Structure 1
Amino acid sequence: MSAGESRPPILLLGAGLLLVAFNLRPALTTVGPLLSGIRAETGLGAAGAAFLTTLPVLFLGIASALGPTISRRLGPDRGVLLAILVVAAGLSLRALGGLVPLFLGACVSAAGIGLAGGLLPGLVKRDFPGHVGLVTGLYTMTLCLGAAAGSGLTVPLLDILPGGWAAALAAWAVPALIASLAWAPLALARPHRAAAGAAGSMIAGIARHRLAWQVTGFMGLQSSLAYIAFAWLPSVLQDRGLSPVDAGFVASLMSLGQAPSALLVPTLAARAREQRAYVVALVSLTVCAFLGLLIAPTGLVAPLAVGLGFGLGGTFGLGLTIIVLRARDPASAAALSALAQGVGYAIAALGPFGFGLAHETDGWNLSAALFCAFALGALLFGLHAGRARTISAESEPVAR
């Protein structure tokens, strides 16, 4: 930041960041609880449902990769403002009803989420350099609370609002618009001059490092576990005999379970020299809890959902923290974030799509095996990504 550049108060920046974070998951978690009803009303088949859960994750990755370009042209603050407005626009499209607005709205809102997700690590590295773990934990926790609200409140909204599932899904544009209004004065308070040079060169520079690809593999594979749970857990529970309302409530418990680990894990992991022990513990918890939800007595689904959420929230927060910790400077953090989330979400898209197709082939058994395979991959990549090293887009990796 230049000497003459104004800086909003740090507490206002933090509050605005949390409002933005709250809106970075409802677009993804609101469809799952209504998916059975949407399929029944529209005739959407199993392949179409799997495609509906996959397309948004692909757009997350595409938009994440655009983060450095948007940051150079607009600045990260205005880039986040653009992102949250795109999220609101995508959610609003769902109000039109029908499959085309549903798919289009999912892709547009996911693009906004991906763009914001690609920009936030560099922004945290810039504005909160002494509190990376705490701030990453706070915004990840708030993101998880937004996910919980989306999965738990959408079915009740279906009963309250006229307009059926389209209105219940589109209602989540309102908090996104509120967040954009809160973030706008913070973003516009900082003048930005477009930076020279190509953003792609920064990504290419960071991509020279093997560690960058290990971080990318961990980010993508742990994300695939989360998107499988977001998209398919309500259907799993309904097949086990739970009502749509109860299945949505349990999915909400899963999202709520993410909040404490999303706060604690980044805060603690950032203080550690390396993060490999966190990788092992959290991935193991995630697998055990998910398998329990498939085979354990239904009376245990609530605590198992909380355990699954704790594992997923912790691995996601750990992934974001590792991005910041492995980067030596804010520009490298932005480039590593673009690579890890851009390519990573393309990997993650395979999760919900493959899980849905596997279910059509062999019930939930083959799906469970696929979930475990993704988890094993996340574990292996995470053991390398958690090593105490830092990389820069312009130099060789060094030990911390």
Structure 2
Amino acid sequence: MKGSSVFKNEITLAISILLIATCLRAPFTSMGPLLETIQASLHLSTAAAGLVNALPLLAFGTVSPLVPWIARRLGLERAMGLALVLTGCGIVLRSFGTIWSLFAGTVVLGCGIAVCNVLLPGLVKRDFPNSIPRLTALYALTMGVSGALGSVLVVPLSEFPGWDWGWASGTLFILPFIAAISWIPQLADGNKEKTAVQVKPTGKVSLWGSFLAWQVSLFFGLTSLIYYICVSWLPALLTSAGFTEAQAGNVHGLMQLASAIPGLFLIPVLKWMKDQRLVAVVVSGIALTGTAGLALFPQWAAIWGICIGLGTGATLVLGLVFIGLRTHNIAQAASLSGMAQGFGYLLASGGPVCAGAIHDLTGSWSAVFYASTVLCVFLALAGWGSGRNIRIGETRSNPVSHTGAV
């Protein structure tokens, strides 16, 4: 009976993790197809509209390094519950339809998602140590599918009689609401070990002084930068090329759905690979093909959207895997996670705004995607360095297999 109870609790927790994963992208990536409507409704400049997708990333970068401290103070379960409440409140506030509520709500939901982003990998590593690749792949898939559905549905919802973009974006409240309800049983269990969120320095190696740690952080940051530029402005490029808003939303959703696919096969394969340099370069090249294709031949947007989704989805998985493979223990991995996500999302937060500014200066969305193509080259270089079979503090490749490190 006891074994059956433990198994039931694990199933319940796994379901909660997947429900939390639905909240990690959809609440803000689904705003991309509505961005031009919001811009016209609130009379925003292109750069100001870019803040709608930049602010969550800025919140990620600012809050991520603080999350381990928050989790130590509150406990992982309570911190996660608070994060889901913040995410839901932010969605509701944003849906009021004014400039101040748009930006304030976006910041609040960004803070909530930031906490979930950092804690979820640690939660998986703590409670499912023997199923990390499988559960990571499932929650990566869940993120992509929920983000894709959000992008496809928001435009038709905004056109519903009596509705507008505020009502359409407000429907996303259902995601953190359901996740929070599923999380209530976990709040009673506040005595679990919190080793997964401890980030006190271990050993003599400083992450901030490690070239390898910076390579991993840069790889994670460039991945996020490229992805969120595309998430923010792909619909605008397509509508300027003659696509309807609904068609642009469909391609936008297809790109996000494609970003979930690499999680199904890449993590189990990487589990047995000692060196990931070639994989990092190849998947960066796939993303490059998509951004260059959009700039040159936007009429084939569905193909290029799939390429961007596959490429950035794979590099995101690699970035998460590198955090495990390039570190010696859970505490160091948590520290690198905070560093990579903090630096990475701060870097990415400037992407939507800078892309909007590039458009305002050049009058062309193609220029934005040419710039993204150049970024893909630097992504490949960072991936080549991050993919070496070496851990922080080592000076040469370690012949010992890293199997299971992720």
The 5 A counterparts of 1:305-324 are 305-324=305-324
Rounded Cα–Cα distance in structure 1 between residues aligned with 2:247 and 2:194 = 50
- What is the rounded CA distance, in whole Å, between the counterparts of 1:396 and 1:75 in structure 2? 37
Question: Partner residue of 2:297?
Answer: 296
Cα distance in 2 between the residues matched to 1:278 and 1:184: 40
Q: Could you tell me whether the CA contact under 8 Å between 1:154 and 1:169 is conserved in 2?
A: yes
Query: What is the rounded CA distance, in whole Å, between the counterparts of 2:107 and 2:200 in structure 1?
Result: 24
Name the CA distance, whole Å, in 1 between partners of 2:56 and 2:397: 36
What are structure 2's unaligned runs of at least 5 residues? 1-5
CA distance in 1: counterparts of 2:320 and 2:162, whole angstroms? 39
- Cα separation, 2, equivalents of 1:261 and 1:210: 27
Which SS does the other structure have where 2:159 is aligned? helix
The reply to whether residue 47 of structure 1 matches residue 54 of structure 2 is no
Alignment of 1:194-343 (within 5 A): 199=199, 201=201, 205-296=206-297, 298=299, 300-343=300-343
CA deviation vs aligned residue, 1:357-394 (integer Å, no higher than 9, x gap): 111122134322321232122211111111222348xx
Q: SS of 1:44's equivalent?
A: coil
CA RMSD of aligned residues (A): 2.5
C-alpha separation between the residues in 2 aligned to 1:357 and 1:382?
Answer: 28
SS of equivalent residue, structure 1 residue 160: coil
- Could you say if the C-alpha distance between residues 46 and 130 of structure 1 is closer, same or farther in structure 2, counting changes exceeding 3 Å? same
Give per-residue Cα distances to partners, 1:205-256, cap 9 Å, x unaligned.
Answer: 4334322111111000111011011100000100100011110011011111
Give the conservation status (yes or no) of the 8 Å contact 2:326–2:390.
yes
> Which consecutive residues of structure 1, in runs of 5 or more, have no partner in the other structure?
1-5
Cα distance per residue 1:104-154 (max 9 Å; x no partner) = 111111111111111122222222323332222211111111211221111
Equivalent residue runs for 1:1-400 within 5 Å: 9-160=9-160, 162-191=162-191, 199=199, 201=201, 205-296=206-297, 298=299, 300-362=300-362, 363-391=364-392, 399=398, 400=402
Alpha-carbon distance in structure 2 between the residues aligned to 1:290 and 1:365:
9
Cα offset, 1:192, TM superposition: 5.3
Are the structure 2 counterparts of residues 181 and 396 from structure 1 closer, same or farther at C-alpha, using a change threshold of 3 Å? farther
AA paired with 1:385? Answer: S
Normalized against structure 2, the TM-score is what?
0.89
Alignment partners' CA distance in 2, 1:25 and 1:250:
16
| Contact 1:83/1:113 (<8 A) preserved | yes
| Distance 1:103-1:397 versus aligned 2 partners, 3 A rule | farther
Deviation, structure 1 residue 397: 9.4
In the alignment, residue 132 of structure 1 is paired with which amino acid? I
Corresponding residue pairs, total: 391
> TM (normalized to structure 1)?
0.90
Q: Secondary structure at the match of 2:391?
A: strand
Q: Secondary structure at the match of 1:389?
A: coil
Structure-1 separation of matches of 2:148 and 2:224: 16
